[in-house]
Each structure stands twice: as C-alpha cells, then as structure tokens.
C-alpha cells in the first residue's frame, strides 16, 4: 500500500460543477498538506498549502484536511474548462521532501 | 521573472547508454530536487541538494542515478546504463529555503524532460 492514495480518474464534469478531489494517506506524521495543479507538458504548480487539520479557502478553491480520518480534499467551485488539468496531492511530515499522490486527471467540458 | 528551466525537453536514449539532464533553477534558491514522474508510480523524489551538498533519497534510486551541482542554480541528473524502466518524465524543482513552515517551502517545478529508453 502506498503512503498516499489518489484515484487517477479521469474525472469529467460539466462547466460550473463543484469538483471534489480527494486523497487518503497512512502516515500519521504528515502535517503539511499541499495540492498542485499540473497542465499537460508543464511542471506542477502549488495551488494550496495547509498545515495540520482544518479548511483553507482561496477564491474558488477550498482545501480540507481531516487528520483523524487521514483524508484530504480539494473543492473547486464553479469549475471552468481552464481548470482541466491533473491535480496532485502531496504531504510532508516536516522534512522538505513531500510524498505525492499519483494525481487525478480532471476534465471540465463546456 | 525566469522560472525553472530544463533541457532537453525530450530525450531518446538506447538502452545501456548514459544520459545527462540539465536543470537551471531560480537564482537564490537553496534547495534543488529531482523527481521521476510516471503514470504508474506518480512523482517520486530521486535526490535533492541543499546548496552544494547532495543527498540521495534513501532506498531510491539505485546507484545508476546521481546529480551534480556545478553552480548554485544549475544541476545535472546523470543516469548510467539506462534501462527501459527509466522511461519517465524527470522533473526538477527548487525552493527558496530548506524547511517547511517558514514560507519558503514552496517548490517551483520546471516543465520536465521526457526520457524514452528504447
């Protein structure tokens, strides 16, 4: 079992839908949680960063961390075709080397 | 400003040959990372360095992988005796600092080099 599990999808939604992306993990030491977005033929870029449990909102994006369930989520409201990309979760226990999920491919169709 | 760049963007190598991949990181960034990205395994760190010291991720990879940092903002990943299983996208990333929680954690990624071993 991998330390971080993420469904690769693809997840296909209509424009305007609310998207929910999730990851589960097994390492209790993880306390820094990140979401990256990766467009085709580009490198990942950091979207959201959360420390420990709780919610964090940034525009149309909301990141949630539930440490008791070892479950993190990224919600995208009013999804746009430009949101079509692969979304990677990553987490760290305090070292600067994050463990990444496999990524979920999201397709938002007009 | 200039971000992280990698060259070449695409590389085809015959099995058994050595390859070298270059990364130009952001000026002033201290920590530099190399990742291997595949559909099956996702993104795995291969090695990282803080300033001039190079550290390998324990257990991965094998001795065929090494990285050099001839200049503070330049790194070269070398793969010896390539195998078909080395076919992947190799990502370079850099960060301003070397620790989390201080706001200098963010890793900036290059576009990657797609390596195909035939």
Q: Which residues of A touch B106 (CB under 8 A)?
A: 46, 49
Distance CA B112, CA B67 (A): 16
Q: What is the mean pLDDT of residues B1-7?
A: 88
Distance CA A18, CA A60 (A): 10
Dihedral (Cα; A64, A65, A70, A72), 10-degree rounding: 30
Residue A97 has pLDDT above 70, yes or no: yes
Q: What is the mean pLDDT of residues B26-53?
A: 86
pLDDT-based confidence at B58, cuts 50/70/90?
A: very low
Chain A contact for B61 (CB, 8 A cutoff): no
A16 vs chain B: nearest CA distance in angstroms?
28
Cross-strand pairs, A35: A48, A89
Q: Give the per-residue pLDDT at B51.
A: 67
Q: What is the mean pLDDT of residues B45-69?
A: 70
Cβ-defined contact of B42 to A44 (cutoff 8 Å) = no
Enumerate long-range contacts of B53-58, CB under 8 Å, 24 or more apart.
B57/A97
Distance CA A81, CA B62 (A): 41
Q: Are strands A104-109 and A11-14 parallel, antiparallel or unpaired?
A: parallel
Q: Give the per-residue pLDDT at A75.
A: 98
pLDDT-based confidence at B31, cuts 50/70/90?
A: confident
Six-digit token pair at B106?
């963010």
Q: What is the mean pLDDT of residues B76-97?
A: 94
Residue B115 has pLDDT above 90, yes or no: yes
Of residues A8, A43, A51, nearest to B91 (C-beta): A43
Of residues A46, A96, A102, nearest to B98 (C-beta): A96
Residue A16 backbone phi and psi in degrees, to 5:
95, -10
Residue B55 has pLDDT above 60, yes or no: no
Indicate the SS3 state at residue B49: strand
For residues B114 and B66, the model is more confident at B114
Cβ-defined contact of A97 to B45 (cutoff 8 Å) = yes
In this structure, what DSSP letter does residue A3 have? Answer: S
How many CB atoms within 10 Å of residue B13? 16
For residues B69 and A103, the model is more confident at A103
Q: What is the mean pLDDT of residues B81-101?
A: 86
Q: Are strands B65-71 and A61-66 parallel, antiparallel or unpaired?
A: unpaired
Query: Which residues have CB under 8 Å from B59's CB, separation 6+?
Result: none
Dihedral (Cα; A21, A26, A28, A30), 10-degree rounding: -50
Cβ-defined contact of B39 to A8 (cutoff 8 Å) = yes
Cβ-defined contact of B105 to A8 (cutoff 8 Å) = no
Q: Give the per-residue pLDDT at B84.
A: 94
Mean residue pLDDT across chain A = 93
Dihedral (Cα; B20, B26, B30, B35), 10-degree rounding: -40
Choose from B25, B88, B93, B100 for mutation: most chain A CBs within 10 A: B100
How many CB atoms within 10 Å of residue A64? 19
Distance CA B5, CA A62 (A): 30
Q: Give the per-residue pLDDT at B49.
A: 82
pLDDT tens across B97-111, in order?
A: 765 555 567 889 999
For residues B86 and B62, the model is more confident at B86
Of residues B4, B43, B100, nearest to A96 (C-beta): B100
Residues B4, A43: contact at Cβ < 8 Å? yes
């Amino acid at each position: 079992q991998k330390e971080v599990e993420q469904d690769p999808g693809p997840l296909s939604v209509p424009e305007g839908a609310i998207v929910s992306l999730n990851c589960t993990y097994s390492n209790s030491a993880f306390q820094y949680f990140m979401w990256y977005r990766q467009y085709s033929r580009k490198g990942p870029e950091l979207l959201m960063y959360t420390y420990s449990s709780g919610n964090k909102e940034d525009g149309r994006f909301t990141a949630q961390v539930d440490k008791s369930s070892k479950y993190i989520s990224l919600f995208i409201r009013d999804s746009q075709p430009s949101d079509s990309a692969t979304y990677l979760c990553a987490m760290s226990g305090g070292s600067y080397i994050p463990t990444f999920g496999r990524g979920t491919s999201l397709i938002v169709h007009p | 400003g200039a971000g992280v760049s990698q060259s070449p963007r695409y590389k085809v190598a015959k099995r058994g040959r050595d390859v070298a991949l270059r990364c130009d990181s952001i000026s002033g960034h201290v920590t530099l990372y190399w990742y291997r990205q595949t559909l099956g395994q996702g993104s795995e760190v291969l090695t990282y360095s803080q300033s001039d010291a190079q550290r390998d991720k324990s257990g991965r990879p094998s001795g065929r992988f090494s990285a050099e940092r001839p200049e503070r903002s330049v790194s070269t990943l070398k793969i010896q005796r390539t195998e078909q299983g080395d076919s992947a996208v190799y990502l370079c990333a850099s960060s301003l600092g070397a620790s989390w929680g201080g706001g200098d954690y963010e890793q900036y990624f290059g576009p990657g080099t797609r390596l195909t071993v035939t």
